[in-house]
Amino acid sequence: MINDVTNNKPSIIIICGPTGTGKTSAGIETAETFGGEIISADSMQVYRYLDIGTAKPTQKETQRVFHHMIDIIDPDEDFSAAKFASMGIEIIDKMEKEKKVPFIVGGTGLYIKALVHGLFDAKPGAGSNLKIHLKKQAKEHGIEPLYNKLQKLDSEAANKIHPNDTFRIIRALEVLESTGISISEHQKKHGFSEKRFNVLKIGLNMEREALYRQIEKRVDLMIEAGFANEVKRLLDMNYSADLKSMQSIGYRHMIDYITGRTALDEAIRTLKQDTRRFAKRQLTWFNADSDIVWVRPDRIKDIKTLVENFLKTGDSLE
């Protein structure tokens, strides 16, 4: 049953979890079984040309199950959780009419929350001058002073943001200085309470050391697949190293290597370390969601049983 007649909301299945846990494989296997399509909830897979470093599904995989929200914008275009939610809702509505089951697969927790619950209303005033000022500060002095400022003013938000994530650091400071309330408080007040769908949330996770080994193996495979050449091509296409997309995990590490700031071995070591830290932050985010049913990635049969029961009964816990 794709739609629960008791509340007339579409039913969707979310497969989430930290990087390296096999979400793509599990999503394809399960969506194929239930005649579904996948909406990628990955903030980096939306970009064209960023393929190896974002671990996009292969052509063979996308032939098995149709994927939405992949390769939809260029690396120098802006994208946001709000845009993801808006586009995702349209796709789900279309899939409901076509009697297809929507599978939301990815590790960008904010995108998933925005899709399911909506976003809090904390729009800074029309004075985008503040954002311009913050961007100017970041350009002139680097992002570190702004990150340190955020740590002092809103440590809760800072702990969820990577020190190099210029976009989110500036956003958090902009909200705080424009509204007088921290972005963390806005999120708590809003509570993401609105729920647009009947939702089954399946989280994939494994023993920590096994996850770290998987992450390191994945990085090695990316390097072997020509990750550095992919990044060099992007730079040759005149995509600036300062772009949000190019400062993402992996891409900034390869840029440091290509531009001679670090040796390849050091770039790989740092990439592995930062990816492990990223996975820990993802786990912190998802662990705060009590609705998630956690499953080991190799228990595909259990995942399919959860989905089957949910589609029959609308109960995510059976």
pLDDT tens-digit series, residues 145-163? 999 999 888 888 888 888 8
Query: How far, in Å, CA of 161 to CA of 145, rounded?
Result: 14
No. of helices (H) and no. of strands (E), the chain: 14, 7
Residue 294's beta-bridge partner residues? Answer: 203
- Positions of the chain with pLDDT lower than 70, given as ranges: 1-7, 120-128, 186-194, 314-318
Exposure string over 187-215, b if 16+ CB within 10 A, otherwise e: beeeebeeebbbbbbbbbbbeeeebbebb
Query: How far, in Å, CA of 133 to CA of 123, rounded?
Result: 17
C-beta separation of 199 from 316 below 8 A: yes
pLDDT of 165 reads 85
Supply the DSSP symbol for 47.
B
For the record, the structure tokens of 202 come out as 């399946």
Q: How far is CA 261 from CA 139, 226, 241, 248, 258, in A?
A: 19, 19, 13, 17, 8
Closest CA relative to residue 29, chosen from 47, 15, 41: 15
CATH number for the domain whose boundaries are 3-119+192-313: 3.40.50.300
pLDDT tens string 41-81: 999 999 999 999 999 999 999 999 999 999 999 999 999 99
Residue 242 CB neighbours (<10 A):
12
pLDDT of 315 reads 63
pLDDT of 5 reads 42
What global pTM score does this model have? 0.79
pLDDT of 292 reads 97
Question: Which residues make up the CATH 1.10.20.140 domain(s) of the chain?
Answer: 129-189
C-beta separation of 261 from 253 below 8 A: no
Q: How far apart are the first and last CA of the chain?
A: 15
What are the φ/ψ torsions at residue 232 (nearest 5 degrees)? -60, -40
pLDDT of 136 reads 86
CATH architecture of the domain formed by 129-189: Orthogonal Bundle (1.10)
Q: What is the CA radius of gyration of the chain?
A: 20
C-beta separation of 141 from 166 below 8 A: no
pLDDT of 1 reads 40
Query: How far, in Å, CA of 77 to CA of 273, rounded?
Result: 28
Question: Which residues make up the CATH 3.40.50.300 domain(s) of the chain?
Answer: 3-119+192-313
